[in-house]
Amino acid sequence: MSSQLHNQSLIHKSDSAKAEALKLESPESNLLRAEVKKLSFSYGSKRVLNQVSMKIHSNKITAMIGPSGCGKTTLLRCFNRMHDLYSQVTYQGEILIYPEAKNILSKEIDPMEVRMRIGMVFQKPNPFPKSIYENVAFGLRVRGIRKKSYLEDRVEQSLQQAGLWTEVKDRLNSSATSLSGGQQQRVCIARALATQPEMLLLDEPTSALDPISTGNIEELIGELKKDVTIVLVTHNLHQAARCSDYTAFMYIGDLIEFGASGDLFTTPKDSRTENYITGRFG
Amino acid sequence: MSPHLKNIQLRQKQDMIFCYIGLLVLLFSFLTLITLIWDLAVTGVPRINILFFTNFPSRFAEQAGILSAWVGTLCVMITTAVFAIPLGIAAGIYLEEYAPKNFLTQMIEINISNLAGIPSITFGLMALGIFVYEFGFGRSILTAGLTLGLLVLPIIIVATRESIRTIPNSIREASFALGASRWQTIWNHVLPYSSGGILTGVIISLSRAIGETAPLITIGALTFIAFLPTSPIQPDFPFLSFQWLKDPFTVMPIQMFNWLSRPQADFHVNAAATGIVLLVMTLLMNGMAIYIRYRFRKKFNW
């Protein structure tokens, strides 16, 4: 049943591209899930991202850090073409997703197709003012899935993955907006997981939450990486250091440094990275 | 403390003066309304009985009723609603969710607001030229429904846009991020969450249309009519008939106007009674709008 969604995906896997992706496998057997290549992005005439290149490893957590306005959220929203909802935006460069090495920024690819493969959780919990069940099932309904038993299974599994099942299993039909902030954010995570995305984009998912909910969500993110590749934007350096496997430091639209989180936080190569993580600015 | 005392007293006095002026204005408009309703009720209410609703107008004031008028009003309102509601809501959705924000859409926006302020008799003149003569619809229920539909279209469009605009963008983004299309987002989220406001606008626009007289007189509604439009349900195949759309008609405000313009005082009583019926219908519709708004506000909260 779980392969049903992948089969519905419009992207066909070509064997040669698959082989190429396998070649990129690093010594620690890190499969690539996505790769950003010389990506520049502008709102109108204002350039927000400048020739950014980075790799997203499969089943790892990649964190993006940097001071406000550095372009980390803009970069994240390129991954699911969220910018396409608004006018006057231009992309240059590419974001390839593997195993097909397909450029998701290409004009020929419908943003809907990208969003069906890459899920997103937003900064502020934004559940629909509907029942918990309907919130989690919406992504599946969008795909035309009506089979009740399948929907129920997926809703339960997703809520379990998001660590919310035991708390809400008796009130799936009550409104999602009546939950606490932390629970609402978990509903949003379950909602994104229900369609079994290949990648999950998290845009400062804990910035609107209290410390306890934040701790729970961080723990959850760590568990989720076995199922899904995660890209996490965060304001919180400690969170990046605690949760992530790779970290990208961005500053005014440039990617300053990218590497394994352990290295970046202990032995930063660039002085700006060092100044930022030691709290000298930002 | 003492150096400020005088200044504080002065400003408190200003507050009080404005408060009293406001209260006075409010009382004045409220009294006007009460007087109006009271006067109408005292004259009209004793005249209202079953026969008043089931009789055609007559030369004899005490036998005259509003049967053709209320049936006409009903038919015209149905035509107006069927024409204006889907068109107005669709236009509102398009302008708010699909249309690019450029010079052209801005012009359309401004002109829709302008359209809402155009005197209703102008709509009547336009309808006389276009619907009655050009399209050959005649002085029919169809013409009346379309005319009133055009009249209330801007109200529905504006109400739709206003209530769609209150939906936070984060909800749209959440839907799109799950792979939903624009239409899926509108149908599953934007419309349901804004339907309270849209329905309110629709009802208020219809309660405006129900009292309109001028444009209907312009297109030539009859003032004295002693028969009903063709029944929509027929005994023979195909059983449904839309002949009623082409039938002549009258509506309650015109019936009222007709009775008021007669010299006999007895007919004035009939006019007052019709006024009461019209007023109650409008108030009921407005009440319904308030109730729906309240219900939806309770249903969707974020």
Q: What digits encode the pLDDT tens for the residues B243-271?
A: 777 777 788 888 888 888 888 888 888 88
Q: What is the pLDDT of residue B85?
A: 93
- Percent of chain B predicted with pLDDT > 70: 96
Residue-wise pLDDT tens digits, A43-99: 988 999 999 999 999 999 999 999 988 999 999 999 999 999 888 899 999 999 988
Q: Could you tell me if B298 lies within 8 Å of chain A, comparing CB atoms? A: no
Q: Give the Cα separation of B107 and A249 in Å (integer).
A: 45
Confidence of residue B116 (pLDDT cuts 50, 70, 90): confident
With CA atoms as reference, the chain A residue closest to B187 would be A142
Q: Give the Cα separation of B291 and A141 in Å (integer).
A: 32
Q: What is the pLDDT of residue A69?
A: 86
Q: Could you tell me if A116 lies within 8 Å of chain B, comparing CB atoms? A: yes
Mutate to test the interface with B, among A142, A155, A187 (most CBs of B within 10 A): A142
Containing B271, the helix (H) or strand (E) segment is helix B265-299
CATH number of B48-299: 1.10.3720.10
Q: What is the pLDDT of residue A30?
A: 67
- Domain spans in chain B, listed from the N-terminal domain onward: 2-46, 48-299
Q: Could you tell me if A109 lies within 8 Å of chain B, comparing CB atoms? A: no
Average per-residue pLDDT for chain A:
86
Backbone angles phi, psi at A203, to 5 degrees: -100, 95
Q: What is the pLDDT of residue A8?
A: 42
Q: What is the pLDDT of residue A171?
A: 92
Contact check, Cβ <8 Å, A112/B180: yes
Q: How many other C-beta atoms lie within 10 A of the C-beta of residue A26?
A: 10
Q: Is B37 exposed, middle or buried (0-12, 13-18, 19+ CB in 10 A)?
A: middle
Q: What is the pLDDT of residue A88?
A: 85
- Domain spans in chain A, listed from the N-terminal domain onward: 11-277
* 3-class state of residue A250 by DSSP: strand
Supply A219's token pair. Answer: 């723990």
Q: Give the Cα separation of A98 and A37 in Å (integer).
A: 13
* 3-class state of residue B128 by DSSP: helix
Confidence of residue A282 (pLDDT cuts 50, 70, 90): low
Q: CA dist A154 to A138, A140, A226, A242, B176, Å?
A: 11, 9, 18, 30, 20
Measured in angstroms, the CA of A113 and the nearest CA of chain B are apart by 7
Report whether B223 contacts B257 (CB < 8 A): yes
pLDDT at A26 over 60: no
> Please, which residues have CB within 8 angstroms of residue B180's CB and are 6 or more apart in sequence?
A112, A138, A142, B188
Max CA pair span of chain B? 92
Contact check, Cβ <8 Å, A192/B177: yes
Site of tokens 């010594």: A27
Comparing A273-282, B170-179, B291-300, the range with the smallest average pLDDT is B291-300
Contact check, Cβ <8 Å, A82/B173: yes
Contact check, Cβ <8 Å, B300/A129: yes
Report whether A221 contacts A230 (CB < 8 A): yes
Q: Could you tell me if B106 lies within 8 Å of chain A, comparing CB atoms? A: no
pLDDT at B134 over 50: yes
Complex ipTM value: 0.85
Q: What is the pLDDT of residue A4?
A: 44
Contact list in A for residue B297 (CB cut-off 8 A) is none
With CA atoms as reference, the chain A residue closest to B189 would be A128
Q: CA dist A256 to A71, A261, A265, B21, B120, Å?
A: 12, 14, 13, 65, 65
Q: Is B212 exposed, middle or buried (0-12, 13-18, 19+ CB in 10 A)?
A: buried
Q: Could you tell me if A145 lies within 8 Å of chain B, comparing CB atoms? A: no
Average per-residue pLDDT for chain B:
86
CATH number of A11-277: 3.40.50.300
Q: Give the Cα separation of A139 and A154 in Å (integer).
A: 11
**Residue-wise over B222-236: b if at least 16 C-beta within 10 A, else e?**
eeebeeebeeeeeee
Q: What is the pLDDT of residue B1?
A: 61
Confidence of residue A6 (pLDDT cuts 50, 70, 90): very low
Q: What is the pLDDT of residue A210?
A: 87
Mean pLDDT score, A243-265: 92
Mean pLDDT score, B19-41: 93
Residue-wise pLDDT tens digits, A216-237: 889 999 999 888 999 999 988 9
Pairing of strands A118-121, A229-233: unpaired
With CA atoms as reference, the chain B residue closest to A125 would be B170
Contact list in B for residue A89 (CB cut-off 8 A) is none
Mean pLDDT score, A195-216: 90
Q: Give the Cα separation of B157 and B150 in Å (integer).
A: 11
Contact list in A for residue B177 (CB cut-off 8 A) is 80, 82, 115, 119-120, 122, 192
Mean pLDDT score, B222-248: 72
Q: What is the pLDDT of residue B181?
A: 93
